[in-house]
Amino acid sequence: MGCTVRDLRVLVITPDYPPARGGIQTLVHRVTSGFDRAHAHVLTLDHPDSREFDSHPRPTVERVGGLSPVRRARTLWLNAAALRVARAVRPDIVLSAHIITSPAAAAIRRLMRVPVVQYVYAKELGAKPHLARFALANADRVIAISHYAAELTYALGGRPERTALITPGVDLPAEPVVRSPLEQPTMLTVARMEDRYKGHDVLARALPLVRSKIPGVQWVVIGDGPLRPGLEQLVQSHGVGSQTRFLGSVDDVDRDYWLRSAHVFTMPSRLPAGGFAGEGFGIVYLEANAHGMPVVAGNVAGAIDAVVDGETGLLVDPADHLAVGRALVDLLSDRGRAEELGRAGAERARGFAWPLIAERVERLLEDTARR
């Protein structure tokens, strides 16, 4: 290769990058901005609010694709532009942050003899299995964000010896968290309302049981999306509309307020119909833990890596609203146990700080480039 550790040039191709919101967006930004030795050149899609965000010197961000509402057209534009950018940047290695950028990564690998590292999560592997097989076959190394994601890659032809398990990280609070739980027993969910598997509907069905055992309980729901109207109707039909607060999208200050003030975080993500894909990991579980809050999550998919059952939260059958309800009642009625799980969660979250995760990815890129 001819590169040294100190001058490693990494071309990162990603459709997902801030200021757009989402777990992949956060992961790609925190990892690439956390590199200490390597320098990342991020090629991503245009965003109307990107100018201020992209003003930071590291990483270098280049955007393409216009603002067309047609996602497929923008993805094609991104893949086509990647070849041009690679010729200009002359990278030592390519990091493809989503399988939909694997065609460009594979072409650069073939034409420029540059190694490729491919990120995989979970949902995309089930949604696009043929493309996933192509991406795995044309990558020198694969980063899976959980044991679950790794198993999905093996089912599609991925090779264990080429797969590295590197979980996402978490932004630790800048100051020590001072928990200030509300007097009113409060369950909190933070998730976009775009995927049914997130479990909002299960919580709506569980809430009557929780209310019968925990008088005055409220469910605070942060996030928005096309499923929201149906969920608002669902809580009304179950007679718990007055116990539910849909806040929509909120800024980080308001989100952190609720992470400090609620008693239990819950997002019982389940496997979608067919059982393929679902929660790749669940950064939000770590965010809740980092603020000293215990979590109730599904005992499937990537949540098994994010939550330690009985230590940082409770893992239950996410398709069983009664099991979810009983777990919430347990933690809301036993404040001492909830606080113990929250403290353990905060301690564990420190091991997932983004700088530690970025360092692991950087070392993998350096090792792959040398080889």
Helix, strand or coil, per DSSP, at residue 31: helix
Non-local (6+) Cβ contacts of 270 within 8 A are 197, 199, 202, 278, 298, 300, 318, 319
Structure confidence by residue, pLDDT tens digits, 77-105? 999 999 999 999 999 999 999 999 999 99
Q: What DSSP designation does 19 have?
A: T
The pLDDT of residue 300 is above 90: yes
CB 345 within 8 A of CB 292: yes
Q: Given pLDDT bands bounded at 50, 70 and 90, which one contains residue 275? A: low
What tens digit of pLDDT does each residue of 114-154 get? 999 999 999 999 889 999 999 999 999 999 999 999 999 99
Of 343, 330, 347, which Cα lies nearest the Cα of 187? 330
pLDDT over 60 at 1, yes or no: no
What pLDDT does 5 receive? 46
Task: Tell whether the model's pLDDT for residue 108 goes beyond 60.
Answer: yes
pLDDT value for 6: 52
pLDDT at 164: 98
What was the pLDDT predicted at 52?
85
Mean pLDDT of the region 311-322: 97
Mean pLDDT score across all residues of the chain: 94
* Residue 320: both structure tokens together: 């069983």
Residue 277 — pLDDT band, cuts 50, 70, 90? confident
Q: Measure the CA–CA gap between 206 and 325, rounded to whole angstroms.
A: 5
**pLDDT the model gives residue 67:** 67
Per cent of the chain over pLDDT 70 is: 97
Alpha helix stretches (DSSP H) within the chain: 23-33, 50-53, 71-89, 102-112, 123-127, 129-137, 147-155, 200-213, 228-237, 252-261, 283-290, 303-306, 321-333, 335-349, 354-370
* Contacts (Cβ under 8 Å, ≥6 apart) of 189: 200, 203, 219, 220, 221, 222, 223, 265, 266, 267
State residue 2's pLDDT score: 45
Is the distance from CB of 60 to CB of 53 less than 8 angstroms? no
CA 159 to chain centre: 23
The model's pLDDT over 317-365, given as tens digits with 9 standing for 90+, comes to 999 999 999 999 999 999 999 999 999 999 999 999 999 999 999 999 9
The pLDDT-based confidence of 4 (bands split at 50, 70, 90) is: very low
193-250 confidence digits (pLDDT tens) = 998 999 999 999 999 999 999 999 999 999 999 999 999 999 999 999 999 999 999 9
Closest by alpha carbon to 25, among 33, 16, 12, 34? 16
**Kind and range of the H or E element at 220?**
strand 218-222
Q: Around Cβ 126, how many Cβ atoms within 10 Å? A: 18
The whole-angstrom separation of Cα 39 and Cα 9 is 5
What confidence score (pLDDT) does residue 140 get?
98
